A and B are shown apart, each in its own frame.
Chain A
Amino acid sequence: MHLDDRLFTDKKLYLPLLAAVLVLPWLPMGIAGPYVLRVATLTLVYMVLALGLNVVPGFTGLLDLGYVGFFGLGAYTAGLLTVHYQWSLWLVLPLAALNGAFWGILRGAPTLRLSDDYFAIVTFGFSELIILVIRNELWLTRGPMGVPGIAQPDIFGKVLDQPWQAFYLILFFLFLVLWVVVKIRSSRLGRAWFAVREDEIAAECVGVNVASYKIIAFALSAAIGALAGAFYARWFRFIHPDMFKFWESILILCLIVFGGMGSITGALLGALILIPLTELLRIVLPAELSNARYLLFGLIIVFMMRWRPAGLLPVEKE
């Protein structure tokens, strides 16, 4: 039985994991404490992103090179709504997710008939388009000046200004997203996606409406990306177009390739390993070499492809 099937059913698996994550903010780490917690929070954000991206290339088999577009879209939706209207996180977040889903569908509808590389190019272009709009529409997004001073997350009118509170908050969202994707994976909907991934014609012949299931996947994936972006904006309190560069799309894609395309636990593990690793390298490497960490990153992927081409926790069992 694959690990993904056991996520919410095997107590031996999830109780220790949950305990480990829950105590993390309270471990005595001295002066490194706040930094570790920051990296942990960031890792959880990337876990959400990896799970969201996984829906499209992992489940429906369409390569998405533009996931950062939805991340940025969510961040800017939430950031701008917060700055202009001071709305609560719990209103802004669903709106950002809905906006993400809307643009996800809009991107998906004309690309339904595209396959493989062509689809990948469109996703790349669309994401660049979103970021270009963000960068240039000064009246809406302040462009390269960024959006500073976004309010921190809140709950029931209380501001969550402690780092551990933000950590628990994103943990909650991670749990939510995890629940959704795990439930779907073993359901009629998830199977329909797998069928589309394996063979579209055979999928049609068992009664799967390929177009509408692709649209659902696009919407869900984009909504999750936007959700992560919305949290990110409220947590980081400042957003800027440079945060959503093409490189980020590749990074998120790397996480799921590393973990195993289509594998939920793989996506989590990929984020768990690679995100802290990049942070660690940032410390270890001398300042002038700090960009060389991407080099190591590339090396890891190359070696992965050589030794475990299907990822750390592949979906297919031989």
Chain B
Amino acid sequence: MAGRKTGEILLKAHNVVKKFGGLTAVKEVSLDVRAGEIVGLIGPNGAGKTTFFNCLNAIAVPTSGEITFAGHSLVSQISPATSRLVFRSGLLFALLSLLWLPLVLGVVWPETFFRLEAVLALSILALFRIYLLRPLSLFRPWSRLLLIIFVLVDGICAVNWLWRSPEFSEVSFFNLFPFYPLLVPGSLLLLLASLVLLLLFNLPRVKEAFGQHLRADVITRLGIGRTFQNIRLFSSLSALDNVKLGRHCRTRANFFGIVLALPQARKEELDSAEKAAECLRFVGLGKQLVSRAGSLPYGDQRRLEIARALATEPKLLLLDEPAAGMNPTESAELITLVRRISQAGIAVLIIEHDMKVIMNLADRIYVLDHGELIASGTPVEVRSNAKVIEAYLGAQHAASEA
């Protein structure tokens, strides 16, 4: 390991699977990256390397598997179909609750609903609401608690209605106001209070229970920066603006701060310009601040993309074929650049076809073929691995080599 000091595990992918319809692009790949490490990911074309990268920062959602980064789980452990079901029933629930609240209040159509039919309607709605909440109980105990609370509240409301309906038989819409205090049953307060309490005290647990798929922008904020195989710059913006966009996730000025030119927003803007320029100098583009990103030479575009990713202050940088299309001088420069990034304490996971670059840089290498992990280890180990030679050169060649 060349005596490199490496820290605790930063990124851990476990059995990541990504299917596109019938095609399995990534098959149960497990991989980990430690802080400060440079890890290579290689494999023949179409091996699923880029798809795996996309899974890591939520551009693609893995079909199954676990990905943890710096203590955060990036992938939900619940299947998308289930979470969709839960989401939909939640939505329906909310809509029905909107219908249900006026019924409980009896404010909107009191003369119609202060009757037995109202109690019936209410009960049916309540039952349906409970039915909708059912999928929730799949998750964690708290949701069962929620369910119990709703049953209780709906029950109390129904009884309350039944009990009080004779009181209001003479009430009409226009002389309703004195009755308002009576009409708001204590149970409604109970409902609101319970919801507020649930949200206040259970938010982290709610999130955990749903095991949310983190969005790409959230993952960037957590500290995974990336570049793309086919360069994705904001090509009509200047190089500086591109990198300033990298600062986006580290700044927080909002609409009002910007429009009112509040000191904090202005300071932040200057700050991000400064940091962006610093990043550009770091990759050696200090002189190209105002050039249009799309009109930069190819090699500079690659470096600009790295600068943009660095501006997000990543803990882990994903580089997708950074040396593609570079001449030997440029790739030598790239090697030094990646070394410097690594020395700055940023872990690097790098996909690369240029063997010279990858063997030179990587502390460890993972090899993918047809979506499967076929080998891993130090560059020396990987180079002499029969399976790797087979994947790259074909079985026959591998045999003659051995």
Partner-B contacts on A (CB < 8 A): 179-180, 183-184, 186-189, 191-192, 194-195, 198-199, 201-210, 216, 220, 315-318
Contacts and interface: CB of A to CB of B under 8 A. Distances in A.
B236 A195 contact: no
A205 B258 contact: no
Given A188-B269, A199-B232, A207-B312, A179 B221 contact: no
25 contacts: A183-B258, A184-B259, A187-B253, A187-B258, A188-B248, A188-B251, A188-B258, A188-B269, A198-B237, A201-B232, A202-B228, A202-B232, A202-B233, A204-B59, A204-B216, A204-B220, A205-B59, A205-B220, A205-B225, A206-B217, A206-B308, A206-B309, A207-B250, A208-B217, A317-B292
A198 B217 contact: no
B217 A209 contact: yes
B244 interface: yes
Interface string B324-344: 000000000000000000000
A206 B312 contact: yes
Interface in B235-278: 235-237, 241, 244-251, 253-255, 258-259, 261, 265, 268-269, 272
Given A201-B59, A209-B217, 17 more contacts: A183-B259, A184-B255, A188-B244, A189-B258, A192-B245, A195-B234, A195-B245, A198-B236, A201-B232, A202-B232, A202-B234, A204-B59, A204-B215, A206-B217, A206-B220, A206-B245, A316-B236
Interface in B316-364: none
Nearest to A176: B259
A207 B249 contact: yes
B82 to A, nearest CB: 21
A60 to B, nearest CB: 13
A99 B393 CA distance: 66
B64 interface: no
Interface of B: 57-59, 215-217, 220-221, 225-226, 228, 232-237, 241, 244-251, 253-255, 258-259, 261, 265, 268-269, 272, 292, 295, 308-309, 311-312
Contacts of B234: 194-195, 198-199, 202-203
7 closest pairs, A vs B, by CB? A207-B249, A204-B216, A207-B220, A198-B234, A202-B232, A187-B258, A207-B217
Given A194-B237, A206-B220, A187 B245 contact: no
A204 B217 contact: yes
Nearest to B305: A202
A186 B311 CA distance: 18
Contacts of B259: 179-180, 183-184
Given A179-B259, A184-B259, A188-B248, A209 B292 contact: no
Given A180-B259, A191-B237, A207 B221 contact: yes
A183 B261 CA distance: 8
A191 B232 contact: no
Nearest to A209: B217
- Give the dominant DSSP class at B's interface: helix
Contacts of A204: 58-59, 215-217, 220
A66 B94 CA distance: 31
B226 A205 contact: yes
B292 A216 contact: no
A187 B265 contact: yes
Contacts of A179: 259
A198 B234 CA distance: 5
Contacts of A189: 253-255, 258
A179 B254 CA distance: 16
A216 B254 CA distance: 11
Contacts of A207: 217, 220-221, 246, 248-250, 312
Contacts of B58: 204
Nearest to B268: A188
Given A183-B258, A209-B215, A209-B217, A191 B244 contact: yes
A204 to B, nearest CB: 4
Contacts of A220: 255
B296 to A, nearest CB: 14
Given A199-B234, A201-B59, A206 B253 contact: no
A188 B59 contact: no
Contacts of A183: 258-259, 261
B241 A194 contact: yes
Contact of B248 (A186, A192, A198, A315): A192
Contacts of B250: 207
Contacts of A203: 234, 245
A191 B295 CA distance: 19
B309 to A, nearest CB: 8
A189 B248 CA distance: 9
B107 to A, nearest CB: 23
A267 B85 CA distance: 46
Contacts of B245: 191-192, 194-195, 203, 206, 208
Nearest to A196: B234
A193 to B, nearest CB: 11
A191 to B, nearest CB: 5
A194 B217 CA distance: 16
A205 B242 CA distance: 12
A18 B253 CA distance: 30
B234 to A, nearest CB: 4
Given A184-B258, A189-B258, A206 B228 contact: no
A179 B269 CA distance: 17
Nearest to B308: A206
A283 to B, nearest CB: 40
B139 to A, nearest CB: 25
A112 to B, nearest CB: 13
A199 B232 CA distance: 7
Contacts of A192: 245, 248
A104 B242 CA distance: 29
Q: Which of B232, B253, B295 has the most chain A CB atoms inside 10 A of its CB?
A: B232
